[in-house]
Amino acid sequence: MGKAFIVNEAAVRAMNLDSPIGAKLSWNNIEGEIVGVTRDFHFQSLYHEIQPMAMLAMEWYNYLCIKIDPNSRQVAIDIITNVFNKLRPTEEFSYTFFADLVNDRYIKEERLYVIIKYFAIMAILITSIGLLGLTSLIIKEKTKEIGMRKVLGARFRK
């Protein structure tokens, strides 16, 4: 039996395939056919463009990616755990959410955001204090100027 590949839409475009299902594919001395096409998704950092990707389906492959409705997350995990335990009772089932993986990958950006936010707040405070001081200085000088004019006999209209 030949190997089966699942490719993304970027790979289909790169190979110029009109109907990719059933097309032959050779990668790293592994021959197989394309059995499915997924929509493009980021499998690298979000800073990289989406690249062509092929996933090889093998019997011993230990990972499965599925999309779960957030409202019924625990029910889906319970069902998957039960099925896994029936198929492989001697192995332990573990899972990870993609959102957690993404959050871990971008923790540096999150920290940088917090630092920039605090520096921006400090800059606004320093600017406000400077503006208050400048306004206070101008008011003090104008008060002196008005006092000098009154002493010298200037008249002010009401």
In sequence order, the 6+-apart residues with CB closer than 8 A to the CB of 91 are 84
Which residue has tokens 């069902």? 79
Q: Which pLDDT value is given to residue 59? A: 62
* pLDDT tens for each residue of the chain, 158 residues long: 468 888 888 888 888 888 888 888 887 788 888 888 888 887 777 777 888 888 877 666 667 777 788 888 888 889 888 988 888 888 888 888 877 877 887 888 889 999 999 999 999 999 999 999 999 999 999 988 888 888 888 776 66
Question: 85's torsion region: left (phi>0), alpha (psi -120 to 50) or beta?
Answer: alpha
Domain range annotation of the chain: 1-61, 69-105, 107-151
> Is the overall model pTM greater than 0.85, yes or no?
no
Q: Which pLDDT value is given to residue 35? A: 85
State how far Cα 6 lies from the chain centre. 25
Whole-angstrom distance, CA of residue 87 vs CA of residue 62: 13
Q: Which pLDDT value is given to residue 2? A: 64
Which class for 25: exposed (0-12), middle (13-18), buried (19 or more C-beta within 10 A)?
buried
Question: 153's torsion region: left (phi>0), alpha (psi -120 to 50) or beta?
Answer: left
DSSP code of residue 117: H
Q: Which pLDDT value is given to residue 97? A: 83
Q: Which pLDDT value is given to residue 58? A: 67
